[in-house]
Amino acid sequence: MSMIRDLRAVVRPSRVSLRKDSGPYDATRSPATATAVVDCAVYRDGRRIETEAPLTPHEAVRLVRRDGGFVWIGLHEPTEAEFSGIASEFGLHPLAVEDAVQAHQRPKLERYDDSLFTVFKTIHYVEHDQLDANSEVVESGEVMCFTGRDFFITVRHGGQGSLRALRHRLQDDPELLAKGPSAVLHAIADHVVDGYIAVADAVQDDIDEVETEVFSPGRKGSPRGSDAGRIYQLKREVLEFKRAVSPLLRPMQLLSERPMLLIDPDIQKYFRDVADHLARVQEQVLGFDELLNSILQANLAQASVAQNEDMRKITSWAAIIAVPTMVCGVYGMNFDHMPELHWRYGYPVIMGITVVICLGIHRTLKRNGWL
């Protein structure tokens, strides 16, 4: 089927610029907006039902139950009061509703009666001119999805992860949308995982940069300890990345392997591709953690070596200075009867012997690599 063959091209970001007329699709909730509903639309036979005025969730439900199709409602950071009406309209489970409102959930897949509740963590790469110990590398958000027979509800948290462009691309392929809410769930899962891949590539560049600088010979001008701070900051950001990727692997495997009434069999096949890409990202992120550990250990070893070299130099100069100190100490005791004390050539001879001994010690230490 042509729709299935073109599925990857549809749900992935298109290189063609989006329409300038975005209609009612707002990326984020405006502070002046009195409702958390970003968009509410009814789809029948894969096409959006156009109405004179924007639909309310209640009106959309009436249309779906009267004429068929499914409703897709998008919300951004709803309050409990704002979401309670929608939850009661679709019979959503209270535990899932609580998770969707409160956010800060682990990626997961749960089934409640005749609906699926899926949590995705979106990851956005934060551009920065130069990586330092305080740089924010990744920023996370959340997308919660309620999938039913005739409805699909998305609840977003955070400023990133807008689904506006994804909705446009899905609407451009009615044959795909005709598969129902499961097609939208797959599109969002694929969209989120594609975001992981892009972020992983960007983080890889940051790690390569730090690795190059740590092992650059003769690098000057970098304060000692600054590399360790940057490496530790990268490790924290990679840990946040891993918290988004690793828990999602099991839900994607379940969606791709276990038959579910709410997931179209033709769509379920393509969850395997998402799970495969997610597994590769997970391996990459785990590799980041191990590589950063190695770089950090190497940096600490370099710092220890540098400290040892400093101590060797200090010890070497202390040994050299000890010779004239000892001589001056001996001849500064002010005894009347001391050898060569009243000898005419005593001072130049002693000074010459002192200089020769100091030069000999300096040459020996330098030959042994201490200076």
Alpha-helical regions (H) of 77-180: 80-90, 94-102, 164-171, 174-177
Q: What is the pLDDT of residue 218?
A: 54
Instruction: Decide if 142 contacts 105 (C-beta within 8 A).
Output: yes
Q: Is the pLDDT of residue 58 over 50?
A: yes
Q: What is the pLDDT of residue 222?
A: 52
- Give the contacts of 367 (CB within 8 A, at least 6 positions apart): none
Confidence grade of residue 26 (pLDDT, cut at 50, 70, 90): very low
The pLDDT of 110-121, averaged and rounded, is 91
User: CA quadruple 311, 312, 317, 320: dihedral positive or negative?
Assistant: positive
Q: Is the pLDDT of residue 272 over 80?
A: yes
Kind and range of the H or E run holding 185: helix 181-214
What are the distances in angstroms from CA 90 to CA 71, 112, 149?
Answer: 11, 12, 10
As to burial, measured by CB atoms within 10 angstroms (0-12 exposed, 13-18 middle, 19+ buried), residue 270 is: buried
* Cα 105 from chain centroid (whole Å): 16
- Candidates 204, 207, 199; CA nearest to 227 is 207
Confidence grade of residue 277 (pLDDT, cut at 50, 70, 90): very high
Show the tokens assigned to 329: 């100490």
Q: pTM for this one?
A: 0.74
Instruction: Decide if 350 contacts 326 (C-beta within 8 A).
Output: no
Give me the half-sphere count of Cα atoms (radius 13 Å) on the Cβ side of residue 340.
Answer: 8
- Candidates 22, 80, 86; CA nearest to 58 is 86
- Candidates 231, 229, 227; CA nearest to 302 is 227
pLDDT, greater one: 186 or 327: 186
Q: Is the pLDDT of residue 204 over 80?
A: yes
- Candidates 278, 295, 92; CA nearest to 195 is 278
* Cα 204 from chain centroid (whole Å): 11
Q: What is the pLDDT of residue 225?
A: 52
Kind and range of the H or E run holding 110: strand 108-112
The per-residue DSSP string of 292-358 comes to HHHHHHHHHHHHHHHHHHHHHHHHHHHHHHHHHHHHHHHTTS--SS-TTTT-TTHHHHHHHHHHHHH
Read off the pLDDT of residues 238-269 as tens digits, 9 standing for 90 and up: 898 999 999 999 999 999 888 888 888 888 88
The per-residue DSSP string of 231-246 comes to HHHHHHHHHHHHHHHG
Q: Is the pLDDT of residue 38 over 50?
A: yes
Q: Is the pLDDT of residue 152 over 90?
A: yes
Average pLDDT, the chain: 81
The pLDDT of 13-32, averaged and rounded, is 36
The pLDDT of 93-113, averaged and rounded, is 90
Instruction: Decide if 149 contacts 142 (C-beta within 8 A).
Output: no
Provide the residue type at 201 as one letter. D
Kind and range of the H or E run holding 38: strand 37-44
Confidence grade of residue 5 (pLDDT, cut at 50, 70, 90): very low
Show the tokens assigned to 371: 């200076």
